[in-house]
Structure 1
Amino acid sequence: MSEMRQRVARQAMERLLRLQKVTSELSQALTPEQVARVIIQQAGPAMGACEACIYLLEEPGVLRFVQVMGLPPAVFKRWTLLRVDEPVPIAQAALTEKPVWVESLDDFRRLYPPLDDVPLSQKGAWAFLPLHAEHRLVGVLAVGFPLGHGFREEDKDFACLISKQCAQALERARLYARERELREEAERARAETEAHRRLLESVLQQLPQGVLLAVAPSGRMVMANEQVRRLGRGHVPPDWPLEEYSTIRGFHPDGRPYLPHEWPLVRALGGEVVHGEVAELPGNGGPPLTLEMSAGPVRDAEGRVTAAVTVLEDITERLRMEQALREGECVFRRIMESDLMGLSFCDKDGLLLDANDAFLSLVGHDREEVRRGLLHWRNLLPRGEASLERALHELWTRGASPTFEAELLRGDGSRVPVLTGAAWVEEQERVITFVLDLSDLKRAEGALRFLATASYILGQSLEVSDATLQHVACLASLSVASWCVIDLATPEGLLRRAAVAHRDGEREERLWRGWPLPPLRESGGPLLDAMHAGEPLLFSDFGVETWRHLAAGAAPEMEGMAQEACSVLVVPVRSHERTLGLVTLGSCSPQQRYGREDISMGQELAHRVAAALESARLFMESQRAVRLRDEFLAVASHELKTPLTPLRLQLQGLRRVVESREEGRAVEPERVLRAARICEAQVRKLSSLVNDLLDVSRLAQGRLPLHLEQVDLVTIAREVIAQFSDEAARAHCGVELWAGPPVVGCWDRVRLEQVVTNLLTNAFKYGAGRPVHVRVWMEGGVARLSVRDEGIGIAPEHRSRIFGKFERAVSERHYGGLGLGLHITQQIVHALGGSIQVESEPGRGSTFTVELPPGVHDMLAHP
């Protein structure tokens, strides 16, 4: 027993000595790597281990391989970094922070299959000891023992004791290394601080801004850089006290002077942070300055304000430039947002980067194409344009291109004429291009050329024939329209087609037949309404429904015409409130759609056509007036001579009878009476002719005096018929009067006698020796007088003009008279508030019917 105790004591002493040696060696290690080397070289053999390795904690959850003994280092190549959740004993010890004891190699292979390739001793045991320091895991020590039996408790205790010493040594080395690092960092920080201080002082002196530094709470100025002196236009004295701040003169932007306590440096000494405050300083021998001031306090570790710093920046020039920039940007923005011109930006390759709405609308593209980078100048420029090539050459060689006219391709394939120019913006490496739409200018120039040519064509002759109008329509279809139709009003109240022209000659005949031609007397319809109102019609989008609305009743095959026209302009041709016709222009081209601006062009064309037609009408009327004047003078001279000849003959006969009678012999009374009657009839006829001429003169002057009284139209008719009994007999026309009770009204007796006289003499003249029927009656409160003959009648084409001045339906060589009777009759009837109509059939006579209101008429003169 004593021998066993002695052996145990020796073993304990040996372990103590080994522990002391290990502790001594560990105390000399300064770094964790040195400690790990001592642990492998000293602690492992001290425990009797033949194999050992150590892992240190790299970061939470990750161990790093450091040292190995008894095993080749290559074994740990794949385990250099080891996570604590790996299925290996080292990780298990780190994860559980408890020792792991493996009694034999068989247990090791069975428990840890991933480590089958590790070359361990055939007879041995392994201990995996977590290294704790201050309740913190710092690593894991793995030791292998050549034991043929398991671990005894004293072996485990000794291993744990050594592992504890190793952990403490590692923690001490880590703290020492950290202390050394902190000292080195402090030295570097001091050196860097000094360098930074010198650098900061140099930078502050070189800054373009002024910098002021004052200590708190006195406000004593301790530093002012060179820029402050330049801004102050003088020297800033050192150690300037707070009281001296009142000598600084400055003003707020609103004109208020800065008070001493309002300066940013003073406020920063009180702990306030000031950003970008503006002050205006009066000029001290120079122009005034505008300064932007920012200030802030400097605090110590306890938060006390120890100093204050102010940064001053001269923003006078910047404000001026900003103002100029704002004004320039405002102008440019207004130009970009307006529709004055199109503006675009592109890169040097021609890709459009930005464009205003006016440009995009002009070229027919949208902003989404620009945003997606799909719009390029090569999509807008026609190929083979020499002017564009020259402009691009100028742009790249001189930085700007001259303005020139060109055509741009629109998104729909059409072309638009523009005035354009470009410049290279070097600062932005972009090309700015402007474009002005010349479409309206080109259209206006074309319209002016067309109107000038049309005026020349219309002025070539005093007579405007259909051939002249056809020439004008052809000109319009080739310049300002795709097709043109000209319709003229006829005296009968109808419209006739005078000219039709189409750019496509094959469609001209279809247009002639298909375009609507409403009669003037028809009521309703857009064309008639526009013609009567004198207002143009514009169909910007002319389609099938519009065609059907205008051309009701047109041939169905003509509806195809509606597909050809995309816009139509209908302009009335009027002169002095008189409808002369219609001019219709149609455009089949999407690039030439009519708008409100084209109405004036159409009206100018209609005005020129109306002027030409009116000039032609006036010329024809003047020619006709000259002819009628000559005819009237001839007829008037003949008619005036007619009653004078028998009058002269009768007077000569009486003179001869008196001269040849025997002295004392009386002249036969019957012969004198017969001659007197003949002379009286001729004088009456001559007086009637003179009265007609006087009445025509009064009518031309717009006056026809009336003397109204209560008269009986039946009595007047009987008296006139009785007066003309001899003339009726000479004309072989019996007169029949159909009259009932008196027809009384407030009329002019003399003028009514003149009406009846004119109608009777007209019936005698053209009655061809047949009876004349006169009827007077009252019907519906209106007095009526009709005179019907059974003579030659009146052709339909002459009925509208027989009431004209000097007009007659037959030649004056066969029928005498001045051609004034029916004209004067109509004017008298109208002056009395009535009306006169004629019904006639060639070869079967004519019937003239007068209708008169019986009441007192308030018109005392012809209107």
Structure 2
Amino acid sequence: MKEPPSPLEFQDLASLLEVAEGQEQADAEHVCPELSQILESVFSSMAEAVVVADECGRTALLNPAAEQFLGQAAIGVPLAQWPEHYGLYLPDQVTLYPAEELPLARAIRGEAVDRVEIFLRSALKPSGAWVLVTTRPLRDKAGKVLGGVAVFNEVTGTRKAEEALRKSQEEYRSLYSSTPVMMHSIDQEGRLLSVSDFWLEKLGYERSEVLGRKSVEFLTPESRKYALEVVLPRYFQTGKCQDVPYRVVKKDGGEIDILLSAIAERDAQGAIVRSLAVIIDVTERKRREMAQRLLDEASRELVTSLDDEATLQRVAALAVPTVADLCVIALQAGDTSLRPVAIADVSEARARCLREFLQFHPPPADALLCPAQRCMGEPSIGIGGIGLLRHVDEADRPWEELRTLRGHRCLHVPLYARGRCLGVLCLASARWCDTDAPADLALAKELGCRVAFTLDNAQLYRKAQESIRARDEFLSIASHELKTPLTSMKLRVQQLERALAQQPPDSRLAARLSDMLPIFQGQMRRLADLVENLLDVSRINESRLDLHLEPTDLAALARLVADHLREQLDRSGCKLELEAKEPVSGEWDRLRLEQVMLNLLTNAMKYGAGRPIRLTSTLQDGRALLRVSDGGIGISHEAQRRIFERFERAASHNYGGLGLGLFITRQIVEAHHGKIWVESEPGRGATFFVELPLS
């Protein structure tokens, strides 16, 4: 866009107008044609709108550009009517421009006016236009003002561009200042040129305290070294960096973790003149990640062993120095004292000293927690090693190392599980500040919960193991003790059989006893089987289930077992379908496999009475496969997962038994390196499969 004419051009224009005026006054008929042509040519060729007014303020002359721009070609319009006639407004775009203050009016009064801003709204420009008006007075040779000349220069485009730039700058300043992101700009020497309000808020500084300082001054020594040796050399080559991890020191001495991304602004020669950096505070995110890693690692350690002291020592070591400078885990030792079982410290010497000190001065049960905290199970936070160091005397030189713990912030977390306080977890650190307290409390409480539940589970497991050992010992003793009267009863039955054989055939007593004797023998066999099962369970628990391997034909063994059970099958109303024609030979314990078949067939008769049973032995893919199918009540999918455990049964207690048969069967099969499983649907019978290697 063209600039308005210079004062020299106005002077030339004024001179031409003065000459023309003088000639007109002298003799209108003798006007110099050349001068008129020059004047007309100048006016017509100017791109700027030019308006000339006489000393009375009437429009005397407009060039074509002015007629096109103003939209009015009337000559003689008084200056007082210009604001309304041409639509001239003050910069507020509402108030008409005062006629007496118009630049042309001031020129008529003898003033030279430069670049006055006026808003114009006319029929040709209904949306309005901004113009800069420059005016000069027209004088005669004596200096008398004859009128004025004004040049109008439209600057609407420039004004819009400036307004857009101003808004953009305001938005940038607003964004820079109010956005909840840390931002700063630095010069080519790394000195801070500007910082956002959030930057100041996060680090606790005033703006006057940081501007002009180098940005690396606010980094920790490790981060500063990394920036100077690694990041900045690469940045000056590429002009950008992204998500660079640093640790920043706040005004109060606290530290935060950040990710910094920056981009450089270069001059025409490509040199970096300024850099803008965006900084994200990732302290809380890193804290959460660290806490989750700690809890995950602690959980893995807690389930690796039932040795409380070794496990808790590893957990304490995980907490130092990640979370605290010192970690102590103490367990209840009766009702009056605590027994420290794990101590970890950033200083090995102080850890040894504290361990020795606590051996001489075991803390009482209320050393770390007040009664209310012990009852509620809530963590507490305080200053100093209260409770742990209550017996440290300033004169005791052996414990001088422990005095460095005074002033540390401590977290005490009771280890509560199922309403019982098992001990306490103590964390101490000189690095914590008030802002860390909520997060540290939550982490310590979660760690304490996991430690407490693990301790409780370990105690429950040990009690369960003790109960199982007591039960197994009882079963072993009971089964052995029951064998003695059973043996005696068998002898008495044999004597009774011989005595009955000697009685006369018509003896009513002998006939009655002969009818009762098979029932008695059957019940005695059942009792003997139960005792033998109990003995097998005892052997399995003591890992004494010995196998006597020998060449065995599974098909022949199946036929033998079927013959032994013929009478029982008839009584239960079950027809046995035997498929064992081809030999299936392997190295197995003959008696134990016979026990497997007896258990499976007995179960089939019990739960499928009155229905056929199929027993099959085949050779499949180089392994022996034994299959027992019945048409009984079937087994639910849930029960199929547990029937091979001890004292478990698929059906209700109406069917009797101890629930040991399938457990013993599985143990025998697995001792042969085989496997057993069942396929069944409720109400549609069951099929048990036994797969055995041939050797």
TM-score range, shorter chain: 0.3 to 0.5
TM-score when scaled to structure 1? 0.40
In terms of Rg, which structure is larger?
A: 1
TM-score when scaled to structure 2? 0.48
